[in-house]
Structure 1
Amino acid sequence: MYKMIAIDIDDTLLNDEKVVSPGTQAALAEAVQHGVTVTIATGRMYASAKQVAAQLNLNVPLITYQGSLVKNSIDGKVLYERAIPRDAAVFLFQYAKERGLHLQAYYDDVLYVKEANQKAIDYAELSKIPFEVYPNFDELAEKPNTKLLIIDDPDKLDEIAAELKQLIGHEMHITKSKPHFLEFVHKEGTKGHALTALAEHFGYEISEVIAIGDSDNDREMLEVAGLGVAMGNAKPALKELANYVTRSNNEDGIKHVVDKFVFGRSE
Structure 2
Amino acid sequence: MYKLIAIDIDDTLINDDKEVTPATQAALEAAIAAGVVVTLATGRAYASAQAIARQTGLNVPIITYQGSLVKNLMDEKVLYERFVPQDAVRKVFEYCIEHNLHLQTYVDDKLYSRDENQKLIDYAAANRTQYYVDPDTEKLAGIKTPKLLIIDDPAFLDELAPKLRELLGSEVHITKSKPHYLEITHKEGTKGLALEFLADYFGCKVSETIAVGDSWNDHEMLETAGLGVAMGNAIPALKEIANYVTASNNEDGVKQVIDKFILQK
TM-score (structure 1 length as normaliser): 0.97
2:201 and 2:215 map into 1 onto residues whose CA distance is 26
Partner of 1:213: 213
1:77 and 1:264 map into 2 onto residues whose CA distance is 34
Residues 139-218 of structure 1 aligned to structure 2 (within 5 Å): 139-218=139-218
Residues 27-66 of structure 1 aligned to structure 2 (within 5 Å): 27-66=27-66
Residues 255-266 of structure 1 aligned to structure 2 (within 5 Å): 255-265=255-265
SS of alignment partner, residue 80 of structure 2:
strand
Runs of 4+ in 1 over 3 A off after TM superposition: none
SS of alignment partner, residue 250 of structure 1:
coil
Work out whether 1:17 is the aligned partner of 2:17: yes
Deviation at 1:140, TM superposition (A): 1.6
CA displacement, residues 4-38 of structure 1 (integer Å, 9 cap, x when unaligned): 11000000001111111111110011010111110
1:127 and 1:214 map into 2 onto residues whose CA distance is 17
SS of alignment partner, residue 150 of structure 1:
strand
Q: Which runs of 5+ in 1 are unaligned?
A: none
- 1:61 maps to a residue whose letter is P
CA displacement, residues 175-232 of structure 1 (integer Å, 9 cap, x when unaligned): 0001111000000000001111011111111111100000010000001001000001
2:169 and 2:223 map into 1 onto residues whose CA distance is 20
Partner of 2:89: 89
- 1:64 maps to a residue whose letter is T
1:115 and 1:141 map into 2 onto residues whose CA distance is 14
Work out whether 1:239 is the aligned partner of 2:248: no
Bigger drift between 181-190 and 256-265 goes to 256-265
SS of alignment partner, residue 20 of structure 1:
coil
Residues 212 and 229 in structure 1, CA contact (< 8 A), matched pair in contact too:
yes
Structural RMSD (CA): 0.8
Residues 108 and 146 in structure 1, CA contact (< 8 A), matched pair in contact too:
no
1:138 and 1:117 map into 2 onto residues whose CA distance is 20
SS of alignment partner, residue 247 of structure 1:
coil
Residues 192 and 223 in structure 1, CA contact (< 8 A), matched pair in contact too:
yes
1:130 and 1:193 map into 2 onto residues whose CA distance is 28
SS of alignment partner, residue 222 of structure 1:
helix
CA displacement, residues 95-134 of structure 1 (integer Å, 9 cap, x when unaligned): 0010000000012111111112111111111111101111
What's the % identity of the aligned pairs?
A: 63
- 1:176 maps to a residue whose letter is K
Deviation at 1:138, TM superposition (A): 2.9
SS of alignment partner, residue 170 of structure 1:
helix
Work out whether 1:128 is the aligned partner of 2:128: yes
Partner of 2:4: 4
Residues 230 and 239 in structure 1, CA contact (< 8 A), matched pair in contact too:
yes
Partner of 1:248: 248
Residue correspondences, number: 265
1:66 and 1:234 map into 2 onto residues whose CA distance is 17
TM-score (structure 2 length as normaliser): 0.98
